Homo-oligomer: A and B are copies of this chain.
Amino acid sequence: MQDAQIFYDTLEVSLAVGPDIQDITPELSNLVRQTRIAYGVLCANAVGSTGSLTTIEFEPGVVADLKDAVDRWAPKRMTYAHELAWHDGNGHSHVQAALMGPSISIAIRDNRLRLGTWQQVVVINHDNRARRRPIEVTIVGTVKSN
């Protein structure tokens, strides 16, 4: 057991009209490397109520399948109470983002994110317009091992 240190930063990610899915693993891995944290955990959250974070195998097939699925779970072509009041056409975006969730946490081991070989951290834009989204990253860990 070691004393914990803390580090933080913000990523800015440009995303197309939703559902759009972007891989942020390279940027997160860079941050981890810079901190020199050997062991700990990275917590990240999407800022804004129509964005979400999860992990997938980031290849075109899974990206297409997940876009189809979020549209199936909360279809654009339904009546949403949010739209009746606000007329911004993104009722489905809010429901999709709440479902997927705004945050994840991934272990850091040997100064690297501990993901599977075919597992990447992705941000999803569910909004009906292109968005530049801040992703807040907080790293808690130690520079030495147990």
A130 contacts chain B at the CB level, 8 A cutoff: no
Once the chains bind, are A45 and B4 in contact (CB under 8 Å)?
no
Each complex incorporates copies of this chain amounting to: 3
B39, B66, B138: the one contacting A8 at CB < 8 Å is B39
Chain A 71-85 per-residue mask, 1 if CB under 8 angstroms from chain B, else 0: 001100000111111
State whether A91 and B105 are in contact (beta carbons under 8 Å apart), knowing that A1-B35, A3-B4, A6-B1 are contacts in the complex: no
- The A interface, classified by DSSP as helix, strand, loop or mixed, is mixed
B1, B8, B57, B84: the one contacting A5 at CB < 8 Å is B1
A interface size (C-beta, 8 A): 67
Q: Which residue of B lies closest to A82 (CB)?
A: B61
Chain A 91-122 per-residue mask, 1 if CB under 8 angstroms from chain B, else 0: 10011011111111111110000111011100
20 interchain pairs, CB-CB under 8 A = A40-B140, A41-B138, A49-B56, A49-B118, A49-B119, A55-B102, A56-B97, A59-B86, A60-B85, A61-B83, A62-B81, A65-B81, A65-B91, A66-B94, A69-B74, A69-B95, A100-B101, A102-B119, A103-B106, A138-B141
